[in-house]
Structure 1
Amino acid sequence: MGYRIVVAGATGNVGREMLNILAEREFPADEIAVLASSRSVGEMADYGETGRQLRIQNIEHFDPAGWDMALFAIGSEATKLHAPRFAAAGCTVIDNSSLYRMDPDVPLIVPEVNAEAIDGYKARNIIANPNCSTAQMVVALKPLYDAAGIKRVVVATYQSVSGAGKAGMDELFEQSRNIFVGDPAEPKKFTKQIAFNVIPHIDSFLDDGSTKEEWKMVVETKKILDPKVKVVATCVRVPVFVGHSEAIHVEFEREISAEEAQKLLREAPGVMLVDKREDGGYVTPVECVGDFATFVSRVREDSTVENGLAFWCVSDNLRKGAALNAVQIAELLGRRHLKKG
C-alpha cells in the first residue's frame, strides 16, 4: 500500500524535477495529483521517463482531504494561501519556498544532516525545504562538524540562473544569442547583464548591506546544523544554466587535517568526493547536472586560521537544492511517521 501524493507547481522547473525524481526513486505512490494555477489546467505533465502522463488540476479547487503529503513548489505567496488549507485537511506539506523556514514550529530538514528534527512536524503539519545554496553546503559540512566542531564558515557562492526560474534561464540564453549577433542584451529578470558576466546580488538588499540570499544561508545553517556556528556568505549569480558551486572556508573547534576530512567526506551520505589534485580532478557544475550527489573537491588546509580547511562544493540546485531534498523528506516522513501497509 502506497501514498497519495500531491505535486503543486508541476509546470515549473522544480515541480517538473520533483516528478522526475519521484519516478526515478520509485517512490511508493498509489496516486499522484499534479497542481498548478488556472492557466495550466488541462495540460499534461510527464511522470519522469515512465511514459505516464498526469493531467494538471487547478490548485484553487483541489480538495486535499484524504491525501497523505503535498510537495509545494509554488512560491511564498501561493504557499501562504494554500499550505495552511492542505495542512488542516491532514495532508502534510513539504514546502520549497522560504515562507516557513524560520518558523520555530516548522522543521527545516536536510535528511542527511538533521533527520530527527522532522519529528516536530505535527505542530503545523508543514515541513520546510531549505534554500538551494544552504542545502548542499550543510550536507558537506555535517561529517566535518561531527568530527571537529565548527566555529565559523566563510562561503562564496556561484549560483546558476535556474535558481531564478525559467525566466532566468531564458534571459541567459537570449542575452548570449543577442551578444553573438550584435543585438542589445538588456537585463529583464536580473539587475545587470548575466551573459558573460557575474552579478554579486541575489534577492533583495537588507539594511546591513547583505542580501536576503546571504541572510538565508546564515540563519538556515544555524537552524539545521548548530545555532552557535558563525556564517558569512557572498552570493553571486553566474552565467551557468544549472548547478550551484561554492567555495567554502571553515574554521573548526578542533584540529582536522585535509586527509582526515577527505576520508570523512568519502564515507558521508549524500557526498561524492572527487579530489585528485590534477588537471580535471574536480567537479564543475556541468558535470553535476542530473546527479543526486553533492560533490566536494579541492579539500586543503587553510593556514590563515587555526584548524582551518577550504574546499569546493558543487550540486544540481534543481535536485539536491530543491526537488531531491523534498522527495527525500517525503521518504523520511513515510519511514518515521506515515508508514503504510
Structure 2
Amino acid sequence: MSEAKNIAIVGATGAVGQEMLLCLEQRDFPVKSLTLLASARSVGKRFTFRGEEIAVKELTHDSFAGIDIALFSAGGGISKEFAPSAAAAGCVVIDNSSAFRMDADVPLVVPEINPDAAREAPRGIIANPNCSTIIALMGLAPLHRAFGLKAVIASTYQAVSGSGAQGIVELEEQVKALAAGESFEPKVYPCQIAFNVIPQVDVFLDNGYTKEELKMLHEGRKIMGLPDLKVSCTCVRVPVYRSHSISITAQFERPVNLAAARAAFGDTPGVALKDDPEKREFPVPLDTTGKDDCLVGRIRENLVLDNALDLWVVGDQVRKGAALNAVQIAELL
C-alpha cells in the first residue's frame, strides 16, 4: 500500500467533485485526511466518506497547508486564482479545467496513454484533458499503437450533464412541459434540447469551429505526442443525461485490417470492445453511465479514405472524462 496522502477536493459540492469523492472511496485510494473545499455559500455542507461525515470548508489561498494532492474541479477562473497558491504550498494540483491544459510546462495526462508525462510537473500542476478528448483518445490510442495515427474526423454526441446540473434540469423541465402541452423558454441552450440536437458546444470562434471542437485537435496532439496530427471535429449536444458518444473516422500511416484493429484492444486497460452488429451489440450511453471503462464498437474499414477506420466510442464524461481520470493521475503520483 502506498503511503497515505492528505487530499483536498476543490469544488467538492459539484457533480465532478462528488464523483471524485466516490472514485477515491471506490478505488480505496490511500487517504490520510480529506479536505472538502468550495465557495463560502457551501460552507458547512456535509458529505460522507468511508463512513465519516466531512464538512465543507471555504476555499482560500491558505487552504493548502499540509495538503499533498489537490483535485480541482471548480472552473478555469478558480483554478487560475487558487492553483498557484496550492502549488506554492507544496501541493500537487490536478486540475480538471481548461486553464492550464495547453501550457508548455504543465503535463496533460490520460494515465492509460501518457503516464510518464505526470512524472514531471515543474509548476506543481497537472492538467486533466477535456472529456471528449479523453473518451476519443481511449478509442484511438490502441489503434495508433498498431497503425500510426495520421488524421481524425469526429462528431460528438454530448450529454446534457456536460453543461452541469443545470443542463439536466433544463432537459427534464422541457420534457415535462412538452408532455403537458405547456410552453417554456430555453435558458441553458440556445434552443429546445428535448427531442432535439444542437450542433454547438461552447462558443464559436472566427474560423467557424467552437472552442470545444478545437480542444480535440490541440489536446490530442499534446497527449499523443503527435504535433502534426490533423483533426476536424463537430460537437453536438444531445438529449441524453450522461455519457458522451463519439463517431470517429481515423486515418493511419500504415495499412489497416479489422482483425488487427480488434486485437489492438485486447490488453488495453480502461477500454473494451462491444462490437457484434449481427447481434445488435454496440455501445450506447447507458452502457457506460457510472462505469470506468470506455466502450468501442462499429469498427469498420472506411470506404472513402485509404488506411482508415470508422469507429464509435462511448464513455461516461463525468467519470472517465473528468473525475476518474483525475483520481488515476493521483494514483500515478
Q: TM-score, normalised by structure 1?
A: 0.95
Q: Identity across aligned pairs (percent)?
A: 48
Following superposition, the deviation at residue 186 of structure 1 comes to 1.6
| Partners of 1:3 and 1:16 in 2: CA distance | 19
The aligned residue for residue 65 of structure 2 is 65
Contact persistence 1:108–1:223 (CA under 8 A)? yes
Contact persistence 1:282–1:297 (CA under 8 A)? yes
Following superposition, the deviation at residue 279 of structure 1 comes to 4.2
Q: Secondary structure at the match of 2:266?
A: helix
1:251 aligned to 2:248? Answer: no
The aligned residue for residue 12 of structure 1 is 14
Contact persistence 1:10–1:45 (CA under 8 A)? no
The aligned residue for residue 30 of structure 1 is 32
The aligned residue for residue 305 of structure 1 is 305
5+ residue gaps, structure 1, are 334-341
| Partners of 2:149 and 2:44 in 1: CA distance | 50
Matches within 5 A, 1:196-211: 196-211=195-210
Following superposition, the deviation at residue 303 of structure 1 comes to 2.1
- 1:124-163 deviations in Å (ceiling 9; x for gaps): 1000000000001111111111111111100000000111
Following superposition, the deviation at residue 242 of structure 1 comes to 0.3
| Partners of 1:140 and 1:197 in 2: CA distance | 27
Q: Secondary structure at the match of 1:235?
A: strand
Contact persistence 2:158–2:237 (CA under 8 A)? yes
| 1:102/1:61 CA distance change after superposition, 3 Å | closer
Q: Secondary structure at the match of 2:300?
A: strand
5+ residue gaps, structure 2, are none
RMSD: 1.0
Moved over 3 A (4+): none
Following superposition, the deviation at residue 10 of structure 1 comes to 0.8
Contact persistence 2:61–2:85 (CA under 8 A)? no
| Partners of 2:228 and 2:299 in 1: CA distance | 24
Q: Which moved more, 1:255-264 or 1:13-22?
A: 255-264
Following superposition, the deviation at residue 103 of structure 1 comes to 0.4
Contact persistence 2:102–2:219 (CA under 8 A)? yes
Following superposition, the deviation at residue 270 of structure 1 comes to 1.0
Q: TM-score, normalised by structure 2?
A: 0.97
Q: Which moved more, 1:267-276 or 1:97-106?
A: 267-276
Matches within 5 A, 1:139-150: 139-150=138-149
- 1:210-261 deviations in Å (ceiling 9; x for gaps): 0000011110001101112111100000000000000010011001111111
Q: Secondary structure at the match of 2:120?
A: helix
